[in-house]
Amino acid sequence: MKIDNLPDVFMAAMPVLKTLEDGSFEAYFVGGSVRDILLGRHIHDVDIATSAYPEEVKELFDKSIDTGIKHGTVTVLYNGESYEITTFRTESGYQDFRRPDHVTFVQNLDEDLKRRDFTINALAMNTDGEIVDLFDGLDDLHHQLIRAVGNPETRFHEDALRMMRAVRFMSQLKFSLGEKTEQAIADNHELLKKISVERIRDEFVKMGIGPNSREAFQVFLDTKLSEDVPDFEGKSELLSVYPKLQFSPTLETSLWSIIIILLKIQNDKIGKFMRDWKNSNAMTNDVEQIVAFFDLLSDHVPSDYELFITGKKTLLNTIDVAHILGQPVDSEALVDRYLALPIKNSNELAVDGRFLIENGVRPGPKLGKLLNEIKQKVISGELENTEDAIGEYIQA
Ligand SMILES: Nc1ccn([C@@H]2O[C@H](COP(=O)(O)OP(=O)(O)OP(=O)(O)O)[C@@H](O)[C@H]2O)c(=O)n1
Ligand SMILES: [Mg+2]
């Protein structure tokens, strides 16, 4: 099979491959970008594999960085873009079911493709757009199947994260799992315990925000992979409630928020739950705000002041979460009300603490209280947002 009219990302990288070929080495596009071009998906970056050793790659290009030279990867800067070029390799010496301990460079593409996780990820494309398909990856793309290259048990023992990758590709690509591949996950799910939470989380999130997250979640639970991820109490509840979602979340904050809402995790436990998954403080904050505002929305129509405190980002994210959960909310009315607020954040208030002090208010706790009172009055429309009006109010 040959692909004509390669997308711009590939054309931009073509001179890099040609440079390798001119140096009498082999060079191919490999991995996810080849899979994605065949599926018509958006391609964010391309990976390049070559017969050249890392030192040889570096000699061919003016600018390069040793990104993972131990694993055979050199990043080359070309025309303002960076390209990862990896020497053909096998991955002998896997330790602890994690990343390869050491790699062995090999001279042919076949060996390199053989070490890859799934048949749809073991495709290569040369500079003429011709596809190299040693493991019926094209057939599997056609049948929308995720199948391990060779023996799935071996592949998962080499790198247990691949079991999570399998379910996340299910979700992202709307594919099914091959029978043997699914069985091997069910038989080996405990290997996932060896994998760092961060790497599991990244795959978990990709699974959760993929278009087929419901089916992927089901397999994630059925194969018991879910038992080997952190703090996943209430997983059976999640299984019964997840199908009630109107559609898959596309935002990471929405994903965490709906899981927390569906599992009924209490306010004071959200921080721990998020930390157990090694989420950042910023992500945790965002999610806490969304869940709190969702609770408020379920309870009553928010006041103007509550809308102000919530802010635009949380408001929009909470509306997203409510829609995904099928919770009725008059989003247009809420957004209109927010947009009509006299001020939308504290910086827009015409006065600050200094203004109050200059107008005779003594520094101290009362000043903060007064400032808040002014803010509330401005938001409710009782007080005009000008220095004059506020100055008068203070004097009164
Ligand atoms: N545990 C892994 C990770 C990666 N790969 C191989 O390395 C390629 C690139 O890996 P990566 O960028 O992580 O995944 P992609 O398949 O490219 O998917 P994405 O679009 O998410 O980048 C994969 O296609 C696959 O051939 C593998 O065999 N085993
Ligand atoms: Mg990739």
Domains of the chain: 1-135 (3.30.460.10), 144-229 (1.10.110.30), 244-341 (1.20.58), 347-395 (1.10.246.80)
Q: What is the pLDDT of residue 233?
A: 66
Closest CA to 77 of 88, 69, 66: 66
pTM for this model (two decimals): 0.90
Q: How confident is the model at residue 93 (pLDDT cuts 50, 70, 90)?
A: low
Nearest CA to ligand 1 atom 15: 32
Q: Which two tokens stand for residue 317?
A: 């994210």
Distance from Cα 318 to the centre of ligand 2, integer Å? 31
Q: How confident is the model at residue 9 (pLDDT cuts 50, 70, 90)?
A: very high
* Nearest atom in ligand 1 to 36's CA: 20
Q: Which two tokens stand for residue 150?
A: 């060779």
User: Tens digit of pLDDT for each residue in 230-253?
Assistant: 766 677 788 788 888 888 999 999
Residue 38: how many other CB atoms lie within 10 Å: 19
- Which secondary-structure segment (H or E) carries 219? helix 213-222
pLDDT reading at 282 higher than 60: yes
Q: What is the pLDDT of residue 92?
A: 62
Q: Using an 8 Å Cβ cutoff, are 35 and 43 in contact? A: no
Return mean pLDDT, the chain.
93
320 assigned binding-site residue? no
- What sign for the dihedral angle of Cα 261, 264, 270, 276? negative
- Phi then psi for residue 46, to 5 deg, are -115, 145
The set of residues, in sequence order, having a beta carbon less than 8 Å from that of 316 and lying 6+ positions away, is 335
172 lines ligand 1 (CB under 6 A): no
Q: What is the pLDDT of residue 147?
A: 98
Separation CA 391–CA 327 (nearest Å) = 44
Residue 275: how many other CB atoms lie within 10 Å: 15
Q: Using an 8 Å Cβ cutoff, are 278 and 198 in contact? A: yes
Mutating to test ligand 1, I would choose from 117, 162, 167, 185 the residue with most ligand atoms within 8 A of its C-beta, which is 117
Q: What is the pLDDT of residue 188?
A: 97
Q: What is the pLDDT of residue 229?
A: 86
Q: How far is CA 173 from the centre of its chain?
A: 15
